[in-house]
Amino acid sequence: MRVVIAEDLFLLRDGLARLLREHGFEVDAVDNGPELLDLLLDDPPGVAVVDVRLPPTFTDDGLRAALAARRRHPGLPILLLSQYVEQLYARELLDDGAGAIGYLLKDRVFDADQFLDAVRRVAGGGTVLDPEVITRLLRRNDARGTVSALTERERDVLQLMAEGRSNSAIAAQLHVSDSAVTKHIASIFGKLDLAPSTDDNRRVLAVLAYLNQ
């Protein structure tokens, strides 16, 4: 699988490229937004790992390039990296509802297994959101009362759903049965007025889209 990396810090860019190549990926790497956009438009990769803030402006050049590429190639897998939790970027990612998206804090890339798992999950059409991003979204919307109707256990299930976990993975994490998780999820959708879906990725996107309204 081919991966495009867009990161302006040489040491981080080089380290990610080496890690990915060691695990069988083909890698192209750039350090600015315009070159990233050209690569994504001309030869879409299996997944792009993109720093939100890139030259030339060091604001949101990476994000804008990724969004422009996804408009041309819907569903193009994008894994964004950011130094801080910026809720706007999570919302921008979720808006098109096409899946194959991720948003990790840069601290997470120093855990090689976690980073490689995120790359593979996004490339496979899944959703990967940093737990801290999810926590911020839940906290903000809880203050507005949007998740106040959920029980503590349902909030735990919702957070794990938002991280892209399957029902079985949620059950294992919470030490409950699969059937208990299924009941919790049905209750969550009912309380949030969201229609259940058999598509796990669409389910995650629906929940997060609601939380991020």
CA 20 to the chain's CA centroid = 18
Q: Please tell me whether residues 109 and 206 are part of one structural domain.
A: no
User: Do 164 and 94 reside in the same domain of the chain?
Assistant: no
CATH of the domain at 114: 3.40.50.2300
Partners of 26 in the β-ladder: 2
CA–CA separation, 54 and 21 (whole Å): 23
- Tally helices (H) and strands (E) across the chain: 10, 6
Give the DSSP per-residue string, 79-116.
Answer: EEEESS--HHHHHHHHTT----EEEEEGGGGGSHHHHH
Q: What CATH number should be reported for the domain holding residue 163?
A: 1.10.10.10
Cα(165)–Cα(143) distance, integer angstroms: 25
Predicted local distance difference test score (pLDDT) of residue 200 = 58
Q: What pLDDT was estimated at residue 206? A: 55
Last residue of a domain, one of 141, 156, 191: 141
Q: Name the 3-class secondary structure at 59.
A: coil
Number of domains in the chain: 2
What pLDDT sits at residue 197?
54
| Residues ≥6 apart with Cβ < 8 Å to 125 | 75, 77, 99, 100, 201
What's residue 108's pLDDT? 82
Rounded to two decimals, the pTM is 0.74
Instruction: State the chain's mean pLDDT as an integer.
Output: 84
Do 127 and 71 share a structural domain?
Answer: yes
- Domain of residue 195 covers 147-212
DSSP state of 66: H
pLDDT at 42: 94
Across the chain, which has 213 residues, the per-10-residue mean pLDDT values are: 97 96 98 97 96 93 93 93 74 71 87 93 87 69 64 86 82 94 85 61 58 54
- Looking at 112, 141, 170, the residue that finishes a domain is 141
pLDDT at 150 (0 to 100): 82
Which pLDDT value is given to residue 88? Answer: 66
Q: Are residues 109 and 63 in the same domain?
A: yes
**Same structural domain for residues 171 and 136?**
no
Last residue of a domain, one of 141, 159, 181: 141
User: Given this model, what pLDDT does residue 61 score?
Assistant: 93
Regarding whether 19 and 104 lie in a shared domain, the answer is yes
- Same domain assignment for residues 58 and 126: yes
